[in-house]
Amino acid sequence: MPWIVLLLLLPIGSIQSRRDWSMGHRPQFGYGPRYAIARFDGNIKGVVIFSQDHRQPLNISGKLTGLPPGPHGFHVHEYGDFRDGCMSAGAHFDPYGYRHGSPTARERHAGDLGNIIAQADGTATIDMTDSILQLRGHHSIAGRALVIHEKEDDMGLGGDEESLKTGNAGGRIACAVIARASNINN
């Protein structure tokens, strides 16, 4: 008989814990800033940090070293898979089926971030925002690849089919997985 009373009281404990959630004690899943990081550690070294507040543009910042001087295409690619080097990363991340374009184009691959510029000493500082890429939801970039290309991205204005797919940015000289991070302390 005492075990029947215990079984009847168990649901009350779960109701109590849910009531506490509704009284402001519930963890706020999905709100507040999110972070991700891409760490390059080959010949090209550095860290790129992604941060995003709920329903706000994505902030992208970082510093890279070891780059050949000049502009380099900078893109998010489909997969964080490097079994065959950077080529395993797939194409530019494009969940909407658009052609290649500039970061300011109305229609573009979501992963088209334009160019980064390496100085004569091989360093590039990154500080940009993007209103298409996300760190949450079905089209999150977490687990995908950040790729640096050998040439300048022509933003899809090169007048040929390859320009509309890749921006004629050439080979992939560095890649890193975009990994979720719980917090970033600068």
**Are 90 and 146 contacting, i.e. CB atoms less than 8 angstroms apart?**
no
Residue 156, domain member (yes or no): yes
Residue 27, domain member (yes or no): no
Q: Catalytic amino acids?
A: 75, 77, 92, 100, 109, 112, 149, 172
> Which position has the token pair 């000289």?
173
Residue 117 has a pLDDT of 99
Give the best-scoring range by mean pLDDT among 8-12, 15-19, 55-59.
55-59
Residue 151, domain member (yes or no): yes
Whether the predicted pLDDT of 99 surpasses 80: yes
**Are 61 and 48 contacting, i.e. CB atoms less than 8 angstroms apart?**
yes
Residue 3 has a pLDDT of 47
pLDDT, tens only, 122-161: 999 999 999 999 999 888 999 999 999 999 999 999 999 9
In the β-sheet with 172-181, what is the strand arrangement from edge to edge?
A: 112-118, 70-77, 145-149, 172-181, 34-41, 45-52, 58-65, 124-130
Residue-range definition of the domain harbouring residue 94: 34-181
CATH number at residue 65: 2.60.40.200
pLDDT, tens only, 43-67: 999 999 999 998 899 999 999 999 9
Whether the predicted pLDDT of 26 surpasses 70: no
Separation between Cα atoms, residue 150 and residue 136, nearest integer Å: 30
- In our burial notation (b when 16+ CB lie closer than 10 A, e otherwise), range 47-62 reads bbbbbbeeeeebbbbb
Number of domains in the chain: 1
Residue 183 has a pLDDT of 74
Single pTM value for the model: 0.82
Residue 25 has a pLDDT of 38
